[in-house]
Every structure is written in C-alpha cells, then in structure tokens.
Amino acid sequence: MEFSLRWRLLPLLALLASFLVLYSRTPPKGSSSDCSILPYDHYWITSKRIVTPGGVNPGAVEVKKGRINAVVEGAFQHLVHSGAKVVDYGDAVIMPGLIDVHAHLNEPGRVEWEGFSSGTKAAAAGGITTLIDMPLNSFPSTVSEETLKLKVEASQQKIYVDVGFWGGLVPENAFNTSALDSLLRAGALGLKSFMCPSGINDFPMTNATHIKEGLNVLAKYKRPLLVHAEIVLDSERKTEPNADTSDSRSYATYLKTRPPSWEAAAIRELQAAMKETEIGGHAEGAHIHVVHLSDATTSLDLIKFAKSSGASLTVETCPHYLAFAAEEIADGDTRFKCAPPIRREDNKQKLWEALLEGHIDMLSSDHSPSVPDLKLFDEGDFLRAWGGISSLQFVLPVTWSYGRKHGISLSQLASWWSERPAKLAGQRHKGVIASGNDADFVVWEPDVEFELNENQVIYHKHPSISPYMGKRLSGKVLATFVRGNLIYSDGKHAAAACGVPVLAK
C-alpha cells in the first residue's frame, strides 16, 4: 500500500484518521444534494401500502435527519395541506430496505470480479439498503484486524448503501484468542468459516475444534458464527469431480459431486458446537448461522431438532434454490453452478415449505460473481467452472415472482429480507419501519412485470453471468432510501456514494 508524503511525515495523524474511519458512522462529506436525489433532511413519504410490524396499511412515515421520526397509519391527506414536504408514492409498496447478510464484493484484490462501487450500485437498484460483505473472495481475505482495515479503507466514498463486514475464522486464527479479539474489536460483525475447501487459498477450511474455539470468543461479544456446512465424506469420494469426467457438460454430473449427505454430515458435526450455545453452555451468547442451505431433507431435520433443543441457531437459503431446479438446467450452462448445488424440483418445494413454516429463518443473495472467463462458457464444463450465482440486483423481484405461486405476503418478505437479517447482523436500528430506526426504505411496484435482458440497466460488473437473464419477473423497484437519503430513483443514483461502513461496537 502506498502512503502519501503527508502520512509518512505525520504517523500520529494517520493513526487518528484510521481510528475515525473505523468507528464513525458519519457519512462522507458532501452536500445533501450530492448524497440524495431528494434535497430535504425533513420530509414525509406516504403510500396506501406501508409494511410495518403492524401489517400492511395506508399511512405516512416522517423522516428527520436520517431517522424515522414518526409512523402514522391511516389517513395522511392532511399532511399535504400542512405545509410539510411530502413524497406520495400512491399504491406502491413502502417496505424496510432489504438487508443482504451474504454477499461477495471482492474488493480489495479482485475488483475486476465486482467491487464496492458496482456492487452497491446494483444493491441500491434492487432495494437493498445494507449488505454484509463476506471475508472471501477478496484478496487478502478478512481474517485479521489489519485486513479488515484494508476492507474499510477500500470502501471509502465508493459505497452507495451501508456495508458491514464479516471476519473469517480459519485455522490460522482459531486458537489465537488475541487475534480474534482484535478482529472483533475492530468491528467485524461476526465470523464466517468453511467446513470444506473454500476454493480460495488464503481461506482454508475449519473443523469442529476450530469452530468451538471461535464460538468461545464470539460468546464474549454476542456475535454469530456463519458456517458453510458441507463436509467431504470419504465414503463418497467416488463422486468427486476427478472420478468421472465423461460428461462434465451435464449438470447431473456436477450434482453428484456434492450430494445432500455432505450438508447433513456437516450439520451432524456441528451438533456438539450447537449444544454449547444453549443457555448454560460454554459458548452461551454466541450464535450459529448456517448459510445457503440447499438440502431440505436430513439437514433440515437436524436443524429443526437443534432449534427445538435450545440451540442459538438460524439458517438461510437463497433465491436461486427457490427459483430453479436441477432438471431444468441445460447442458453447459455454467451460470447455474454454485455450492451447495441447486437440487431437484421435489427438494425445491420442500425448501419453500420450510421457509413458509418458519424452519428457514431468512434469505440472502450469496452474490458470488467472477469474471466471465472463469465460468468457462465455451467449454460448458461444470466440474472446472467457477461456482457462484450473480444476483444482487434481482433478489427482490425474484423472491416475489417465484414466491407469489406459494402465496407469500409482503410481511413475510419483509421478515425474511429485513427484520431477521438485521437481528443476525446486530443492527438494532434497521430492519423495520419504526420510530427511531434508520430511514432505510425500498419503494416498489409488485405488479409491474419486466423481462430481465440487455435492455435493462444492470449495475453488476458482469451481467451476462447471471442465470436470471432472460427471465420474466414481477416487482419493479422505484426508489431506495438509505438513512433518509434518496439514493436511487427512477433508474438514477445520487451523485455521491454516501453509504457508510457499519462496524460493531
């Protein structure tokens, strides 16, 4: 890293500046017109459909200096005559901004894959107001206080939405309590670990012993451990990629390489650690969160049992597991490759049932882009192509479009995408439309249909790698507000990127 002459001559000033960057939630300097398309810091927004903890009702929300000052349900027409600044969205839905707890923005180090600017522009256009960045696939991975600082510095004046950061739990730091303490004190919202190879060299896999050590530290801070729950079973190594490459263009070939038993084995391995998070356990105060569950059979049964036994445990799944089925994936279409894999139609239906019944707690994008070359489109080789679904801008219309067939409600959508993710990430002032909370909103029209194609303005760095391209969806995002700033409206972003790093205190 290169430092300016001033920083080399004034190390104390640099240290102070670094401290302020890490612990301040004050937006970057700039006029209100730079940060917001709406040039007011005190106004009302109104609609016939506002989603609050009380349900979906007509009403108005007063915004003052970035916070929700009041929520009024029922008639709001008198506001127009009171001289107050009012933005009326008519029949459009006003919902708490989405919070995506699982996204890979890849900066610093692999900004050509995505990056803070393009990723958060896409998030804003999709109604996401806060996202939590994963500690990999950036380089270096976020596994120390120093690498977290690199992340925060790289985000400065580039983020259009608020961005928090998970730290990484890896063998290198798992037994180093002071290193984990430093990472968590520096603001990591929690830790993430892999129980199988991650595909990133500086983010090696952990075992149950590493996880228990990490939970003991996390318990002091009351923060979560996010776990990629797959274990490679020796008894099933015959299904690994090198065993049979005769039809690597077939998705069925790839599906056999990561069977549901891998997920179930990891959940079983986690059972002892889950027990420690119960009241009275050695890691009471810590929390385990299973990311991107794709197996809706044995793995889900094990999770249900652990929850019923008192474990502090949540689980997420992703829109691509709810939208797609293995049977429909064409030969060579590596846009669909991810891990765990997209499973069969009957499994997809069971995931929907579990989500609707509350056994799956929330949704996340697992936005995991790469450069197109790594998807090997010419060869269509599922066994060698990079795995990851690109979806950040689309998750709201995708969830709504596929969920309508299952009768989902706007309140459920807000719970899965806002309220519960806010709780997981420790964001007490986000996730619901309530007085005192950050004024984070998405305004959208659920009944407007569109086809996702090259005529749409897509802000991902590489739109072509998304499997949602060509799909017809319902749910058009009209506007996105972050801490009272109207950052996206009618296809345009605010002039300045005034999102802030969200760091634990």
Q: Which amino acid is at 239?
A: T
End-to-end CA distance of the chain: 27
Tokens representing residue 269 in the block: 């391995």
Q: Is there a domain that residue 237 lies in?
A: yes
Q: How far is 108 from 390, CA to CA, in rounded Å?
A: 19
pLDDT above 90 for 356: yes
Q: How crowded is residue 70: how many other Cβ atoms within 10 Å of its Cβ?
A: 12
pLDDT above 80 for 128: yes
DSSP label at residue 243: G
Band (pLDDT 50/70/90 cuts) for residue 244 is low
Q: Is there a domain that residue 392 lies in?
A: yes
Of 362, 421, 417, 366, nearest in space to 390 by CA: 366
Q: Which domain holds residue 191?
A: 98-432
Cis peptide bond prior to 204, omega within 30° of 0 = no
* CATH number of the CATH domain containing 140: 3.20.20.140
pLDDT above 90 for 384: yes
For residue 132, the cross-strand partners are: 164
Band (pLDDT 50/70/90 cuts) for residue 454 is confident
pLDDT at 236: 57
- Whether the CB-CB separation of 240 and 257 falls below 8 Å is answered with yes
Band (pLDDT 50/70/90 cuts) for residue 83 is confident
pLDDT above 90 for 28: no
Question: How large a percentage of the chain has pLDDT more than 70?
Answer: 91
Q: Is there a domain that residue 115 lies in?
A: yes
Q: Is there a domain that residue 304 lies in?
A: yes
pLDDT above 80 for 235: no
Mean pLDDT of 165-176: 98
pLDDT above 60 for 25: no
Strands in 409-497 per DSSP E: 441-451, 472-482, 485-489, 492-493
The angle that helices 177-185 and 145-155 make with each other, rounded to 10 degrees, is: 20
Mean pLDDT of 464-492: 97
Of 344, 232, 255, nearest in space to 296 by CA: 344
Average pLDDT, the chain: 92
- pTM above the 0.85 mark? yes
Rg (C-alpha) for the chain, rounded Å, is 22
Inter-CA distances, 377 with 105, 106, 200, 329, 452, Å:
22, 21, 21, 14, 20
pLDDT at 77: 72
Q: Is there a domain that residue 1 lies in?
A: no
* pLDDT 10s digits, 106-116: 999 999 999 99
The angle that helices 208-221 and 177-185 make with each other, rounded to 10 degrees, is: 50
pLDDT at 455: 87
Q: How many domains does the chain have?
A: 1
Question: How large a percentage of the chain has pLDDT more than 90?
Answer: 88
pLDDT above 60 for 31: no
pLDDT at 346: 98
pLDDT above 60 for 337: yes
pLDDT above 50 for 168: yes
Strands 492-493 and 485-489: antiparallel
Strands 313-317 and 287-290: parallel
DSSP label at residue 45: E
Q: Is there a domain that residue 468 lies in?
A: no
Q: Is there a domain that residue 356 lies in?
A: yes
Q: In degrees to the nearest 10, what's the CA dihedral of 442, 445, 448, 454?
A: -20
Band (pLDDT 50/70/90 cuts) for residue 23 is very low
Q: Is there a domain that residue 493 lies in?
A: no
